Amino acid sequence: MANTPPRQPVPFSRVKIRVGALVFCGDEVALIRRDRDGAVHYTPPGGNVEDGEDLTAALRRELEEELALDTDRAEGGDLLWVVDQRVTRPGPTPPPRKLHLVYRLHVTPDVRASLAAYEHDELPDGGHDIGVIEWIDYRQTAALPLFPPLGPALAALPDPRATVADAALDAVTDETYTWV
């Protein structure tokens, strides 16, 4: 029997699902600002779905971890957008294809006042990456360095509760996005 070299994983052959939420309080939306290597970028609160985890449970867990939000205290929870990500990124492992499921929730000013101001993301070395929770007028998000890049679609909403005609936003690929 001949020795065959181990099969190399193919980029985008694995699929991960990330749930995230646009949490509105009036016209403002909660985004996590991260300052890294002289650059700033924003993400909606959320994270990867764990193996065997229900999407609703994953969203509930992520919003509790990142915003200290009990989703029972929020209104909504409808799927707003889906973003298909196939972007080469730095690192030793081939990048996965990632589907971002972006939900929409609304909170009252009283609930907002009880939410976290910082998000502590655990790093592989045991440290933490600290993100700042910023409340930004959703109409000002078009030019923000937001990932997934949904700022233009978000800013184009006529109001935070507007219905969208198509939940699928443009795919994020190496042709349309450069990893920062």
Within the chain, strands assigned E span: 15-25, 28-36, 39-43, 46-48, 75-86, 97-106, 118-122, 128-137, 172-173
Report CA dihedral (136, 140, 141, 143) to the nearest 10 degrees: -140
In a domain, 167, yes or no: yes
Please tell me the predicted confidence (pLDDT) of residue 6.
Answer: 64
Is a pLDDT exceeding 60 seen at residue 1?
Answer: no
Q: From the CB of residue 151, how many other CB atoms can be counted at a distance below 10 Å?
A: 20
Please tell me the predicted confidence (pLDDT) of residue 102.
Answer: 98
The whole-angstrom separation of Cα 41 and Cα 132 is 11
Cβ atoms 172, 153 nearer than 8 A? no
Please tell me the predicted confidence (pLDDT) of residue 174.
Answer: 87
pLDDT in tens, 34-82: 987 788 999 999 999 999 999 999 999 999 999 999 999 999 999 999 9
Is a pLDDT exceeding 60 seen at residue 132?
Answer: yes
- pLDDT-derived band at 180 (thresholds 50, 70, 90) equals low
Please tell me the predicted confidence (pLDDT) of residue 10.
Answer: 72
How many CA atoms within 13 Å lie on the side-chain side of 167?
A: 11
Please tell me the predicted confidence (pLDDT) of residue 159.
Answer: 97
Sequence-ordered list of residues with C-beta below 8 angstroms from that of 5, at least 6 positions apart, any chain:
none
Query: The domain spanning residue 113 has which CATH number?
Result: 3.90.79.10
In a domain, 35, yes or no: yes
- pLDDT-derived band at 149 (thresholds 50, 70, 90) equals very high
Mean pLDDT calculated for residue range 21-35: 97
Is a pLDDT exceeding 70 seen at residue 83?
Answer: yes
Please tell me the predicted confidence (pLDDT) of residue 12.
Answer: 76
Number of domains in the chain: 1
Three-state helix/strand/coil letters over 148-173: CCCHHHHHCCCCCCCCCCCCECCCEE
In a domain, 4, yes or no: no
In DSSP terms, which residues pair with 21 in a beta bridge? 103
In a domain, 132, yes or no: yes
The whole-angstrom separation of Cα 163 and Cα 26 is 16
Q: What percent of the chain has pLDDT over 90?
A: 69
Q: What percent of the chain has pLDDT over 70?
A: 92
In a domain, 9, yes or no: no
In a domain, 7, yes or no: no
Q: pTM for the full model?
A: 0.89
In a domain, 23, yes or no: yes
Closest CA to 76 of 10, 162, 1, 150: 162
For residue 39, give its domain range: 15-173
Say which range, 64-73, 126-135, 141-150, 151-160, has the weakest mean pLDDT.
Answer: 126-135
In a domain, 25, yes or no: yes
